[in-house]
Structure 1
Amino acid sequence: MQTIISEKRGIAQIVTLNRPEQRNAISLQMVDELLQQLAEAERDPDLRALVVRGAGGNFCAGGDIGDMLAAQQSAADGGSDAFYRLNRRFGELLEHFNRTPLVVIAALEGAVMGGGVGLACIADITIAESNTTISLPETRLGLPPAQIAPFVVRRIGLAQARRLALSAARIDAQLALALGLTHQVAEGTEALDRALEKQLQAIAGCAPNALAATKQLMLASANLRGDEDLGRLLDRGAELFAAAVQGHEGREGARAFIEKRAPEWQY
């Protein structure tokens, strides 16, 4: 891994975007390494969470200009789909991180721009240090926020997403919290680390399979298109519930509640 640092810590894999000189701009190599790390984390039965943060005091300043220049050269050499492939590859990253059964936590600091906002919006839990600034600068560069737009709209709603994207607005951590883009603001890096640890402790008390099933249901709920979809989702929910009640986690959860102790989950 050349663009990220990865460390296993208890139930969590801590992944740090590590291009501080570029404010952790996302290159194609970083996309590939993040996808590789996610696949490895999903295969580890000990893990329930994946934390994404940035090195050097910034979370992520969006896409990498070097990749844009390389795509420009490729296009000049006849590669007509170079920019399409570059852009769509990042969308694949967001899709994979969005639907992973792991709980994804984004810890934001400093600059969060463009693609970095996309990563913040696909996280299940997003915590921002109070110095965080969030912006969608694409239109000032003559570009649309092509891959992140659906995730920003899902996160904060169409009206607010349009306002931020169409004005290339920059907002602070408190406004991001008010809009629902983030879930918590921490005053300083140490407070951010404490808030992150508190979230991980809470997740550690939850059953692994129940977490994955709950995330599956939540994501499906956001895509309902009518009563038929609702009925099918409720059927699926009943199936997952029945399996959980009769499985180890349901039995252990009930026993632990009755015995007034912390449950012991199997991995």
Structure 2
Amino acid sequence: MDKDRDSTVCVRSERGVLHLTLNRPEARNAMNAPMLAEIEHAIDTVRDDRAVRAIVLRGAGGHFCAGGDLKSMMTAGGGDAAANGADPIAAVNRAFGTMLRKVAQAPQLVIAICEGAVLGGGFGLACVSDIAFTHVDAKFGMPETTRGLPPAQIAPFVVERIGLTQARRLCLTGASFRGEQALRLGLVHECFSGEDELQAMLAATLAQLMQCAPLATAVTKQILLEVGRRDMDAVLDDAAQKFAASVRGSEAPEGIAAFLQKRAPRWAGASGLP
């Protein structure tokens, strides 16, 4: 799967990995409506494709994402609420939340590579990844309040990622910080200082992922994302049903047989390396 270089998101599929590159480098990859739609379309396209094991998010031109395109947001639909109560600015803002939830709920492992500006909506995108790597000099922050705006669609995902106490401090002050502090906060998982180091991290992570069964990975992610959203007994009841379905499925017998026979399972045949 490949897309034209003129798209706001460049899409490349290689050996079980879907690479999504935010492609507005002239705007530090600030997100506009077309970019949101292209990200969602790419996620929808592979949602049920178990041959795609991971989605890697990166930005073109040395920046991950500088947030939302403020100019396009401020002029959305002429700026006035419609007579029927529909507010075009609210609709544009809500679209950010829809995109973030779609990325968060993708069955595949989602990896964010944070470089340069990781601000506003880009900060939110990092928060919905399963694994995030950051350059030590990447700049993180939610500057919305310094622009007279709330980080409306981003804040809930920040709370989920780093907890309410830290989210309150960062959201309410608009403070910025670098990659190593992002690591200490638990926002990201590893730091890198150069491309070779990043590629080694990425290769090791993808190689480990390829040892895991695709459907079991997707089901595990579903269980994890239910925690805190539903009553715990309901989560555990549903997880038990998912476990039983897995036992009766095709992956568990193969995985257990491979373990007993001291061989790699069938799904580990693809390296998945970039």
TM-score category (smaller protein) = over 0.9
1:138-191 per-position Cα deviation (integer Å, ceiling 9, x unaligned): 000000000000000010000000111111111111111111100111121221
Residue of structure 2 in register with 1:74 after alignment? 78
User: Segments of 4+ in structure 1 off by > 4 A?
Assistant: 76-80
User: 1:116-159 deviations in whole A, cap 9, x for unaligned?
Assistant: 01000000111111121101100000000000000000100000
Give TM-score scaled by structure 2 length: 0.91
Task: Note closer, same or farther for the CA distance 1:130–1:239 as it changes in structure 2 (3 Å cut).
Answer: same
Q: 1:152 aligns with which of 155, 158, 163?
A: 158
User: CA separation of 1:76/1:242 partners in 2, compared to 1, >3 Å: closer, same or farther?
Assistant: closer
Separation in 2, partners of 1:194, 1:27: 32
Asked whether 1:49 is paired with 2:54, we answer yes
Q: Which amino acid aligns with 1:63?
A: G
1:168 correspondence with 2:174: yes
**Alpha-carbon distance, 1:76 to partner:** 5.2
State the distance in 2 between where 1:159 and 1:75 align: 34
Which residue identity is paired with 1:6? V
The amino acid of 2:220's aligned partner reads T
Secondary structure (helix, strand or coil) at the match of 2:47 reads: helix
On the 8 A contact 1:130/1:188 being kept in 2, the answer is no
1:90 aligns with 96
Q: CA RMSD in A?
A: 1.8
Paired position in structure 2 for 1:40? 45
* Contact 2:210–2:267, Cα closer than 8 Å, also in 1: no
CA spacing shift, 1:22–1:231, aligned 2, 3 Å: same
Q: Secondary structure at the match of 1:126?
A: strand
TM-score (norm 1): 0.93
1:55-107 per-position Cα deviation (integer Å, ceiling 9, x unaligned)? 10000000013312432x61259686121011001110011111121111101
- 1:141 alignment counterpart: 147
231, 238, 250: which one aligns with 2:252: 250
Query: In the TM superposition, what whole-angstrom CA distance separates every residue of 1:168-227 from its partner, at most 9, and x where no partner exists?
Result: 111111111111100111121221122112111111111011001100000001324xxx
Gaps of 5+ in 2: none
Secondary structure, aligned partner of 2:266: coil
Letter in 2 for 1:130: V
Q: Where in structure 1 are there 5+ consecutive unaligned residues?
A: none
Q: Does 32-41 or 241-250 show the bigger shift?
A: 241-250
